[in-house]
Structure 1
């Protein structure tokens, strides 16, 4: 079995590009990094536009069909894999969380784009024909600017990337994620960030409501209104997701994973995992192993 669950940073994937950024056409990138077909984790933001190809790709264990003029976005820490059919091409951008920090007055600006929040259901977008040509042009400009990285080139790249994000966000949400986010959206993002930080130790909505200085009823109403699920389900989903991420790392046994997620024992963790996934942790691990090695 695979012994290590790979975590890639930009430096491990780039040649001579800026250490915070990698921009490439997708076909040569894929040819060089064919090992990325297996499940792996990124420490950076990751954007891909497919212009040609078929097959499947998965983000945090949710599968999507590969289609021309599909664009997807990933935040740091998410798990990803590919299984392509036939020739595939397009464009790829990898960039660090620090890449925009000195450029933007609001360092949290990227969080205003719903496709960078880590919600898998918002991250894969089929581009309408009316924007495909404009998006293609932006990627071609990014390829050109990245060929000679100077300070002004890098600032132009940042400006072009923001134009790309805004164009896609406008197409997807008609501007609801642009500008200054509304109070409820900001509150929901704060809740998600707290869950990402504390899910292993804080499992009840009332714990997060206290950290947000709101009532549990307010938090549940917010989640039901904006996500269609109660706050407790969002917390449970995050625990299940982390369990899946850990289970594909064969360096850790089930007891170690249960302990890392703060379950009292292996039996309780197994019951919890099976209740919300329909599989035991061992069955999930075996299924993922078979799927990866059948490619």
Structure 2
């Protein structure tokens, strides 16, 4: 969702002439573009490796304190902000999903990576010295492949990107003790994909259960087992987070937000918001708006 007051950056697909949907950029080189608009969103995937300095790195609602050897993950349209004064350098590995899908022919490839799963609550990974050196080297290899050759070999670049993703996936699973993929996870992955696409117009668990050919009670059981929250809470949390973004980063009225999120009436939206945040939408906008 694009917010009218937040810069949203698209992928520069023809930066190197012909279309290329992967790039590695040095953080020190992109600081100047963020000095006036530090809060921003990207339309593509980003993996940021910190190689010098320390400071805050925000992704959506979470502020991370990061240092050298930390990695941050963001998905398209997540809100991002980082400390350009104290985070001195690093690499941002950026890519479009299409770059991998055209090779692997697997529409769920990205969603099956632990740190890009829809229900993943962690956007930061602390690397061991050996894994940090390996990822740092791979990012330099990708940058060299792009910079040195007139004809960019997309198969080499995909292989390098795949190695980065799989190495980080293993490290992420190890750090956060993620259980192996199961049928329950597959159902929950599909549920979260449907919620991501339809939550603004469909708020009921019944709707998503029918799409998955499950009963609402069984879907709730599966979702709670995997995420720790029942399905209804997942939907409501998504609605609250989206409401907060509209309130903070757009000029939409409460009635307009209510309509966009398919609430029956603005008054019902206000009651819904107040019950879950302890304040009205206008109070939240007044108290929290930057």
TM-score for both structures, normalised by structure 2: 0.88
- Structure 1 residue 268 and structure 2 residue 255: aligned? no
Q: What is the Cα deviation at residue 76 of structure 1?
A: 1.3
Task: Show the counterpart of 1:7.
Answer: 8
- Greater Cα shift, 131-140 or 151-160: 151-160
- Greater Cα shift, 163-172 or 260-269: 260-269
Task: Show the counterpart of 1:252.
Answer: 252
Task: Show the counterpart of 1:24.
Answer: 25
Task: Show the counterpart of 1:197.
Answer: 197
Structure 1, gaps ≥5 residues long: 291-295
Q: How does 1:75-224 map to 2 (within 5 A)?
A: 75-119=75-119, 121-148=121-148, 153-174=153-174, 181-224=181-224
Please say if residues 45 and 75 of structure 2, whose CA atoms lie closer than 8 Å, have aligned partners that are also in contact.
yes
Structure 1 pair 3–154 and aligned structure 2 pair: CA distance change class (3 A): closer
Q: What is the Cα deviation at residue 21 of structure 1?
A: 2.6
Q: What SS does the corresponding residue of 2:73 show, helix, strand or coil?
A: strand
RMSD of Structure 2 on Structure 1 (CA): 2.7
Please say if residues 45 and 94 of structure 1, whose CA atoms lie closer than 8 Å, have aligned partners that are also in contact.
yes
TM-score for both structures, normalised by structure 1: 0.86
Task: Show the counterpart of 1:293.
Answer: none
Q: What is the Cα deviation at residue 187 of structure 1?
A: 1.1
**Distance in 1 (alpha carbons) for counterparts of 2:231 and 2:213:** 15
Q: What is the Cα deviation at residue 257 of structure 1?
A: 0.8
Deviations 1:45-80 (A, max 9, x none): 111111222222221222111222111111112222
Deviations 1:231-258 (A, max 9, x none): 1111111111211222233332222111
Please say if residues 254 and 266 of structure 1, whose CA atoms lie closer than 8 Å, have aligned partners that are also in contact.
yes
Q: What SS does the corresponding residue of 1:284 show, helix, strand or coil?
A: helix
Deviations 1:148-190 (A, max 9, x none): 46665222121111111111111121499899x5322221110
- Greater Cα shift, 281-290 or 221-230: 281-290
Q: How does 1:46-85 map to 2 (within 5 A)?
A: 46-85=46-85
Q: What is the number of equivalent residue pairs in this alignment? A: 286
Q: What is the Cα deviation at residue 127 of structure 1?
A: 1.2
Structure 2, gaps ≥5 residues long: none
Please say if residues 169 and 177 of structure 1, whose CA atoms lie closer than 8 Å, have aligned partners that are also in contact.
no
**Distance in 2 (alpha carbons) for counterparts of 1:208 and 1:183:** 17
Please say if residues 31 and 84 of structure 2, whose CA atoms lie closer than 8 Å, have aligned partners that are also in contact.
no
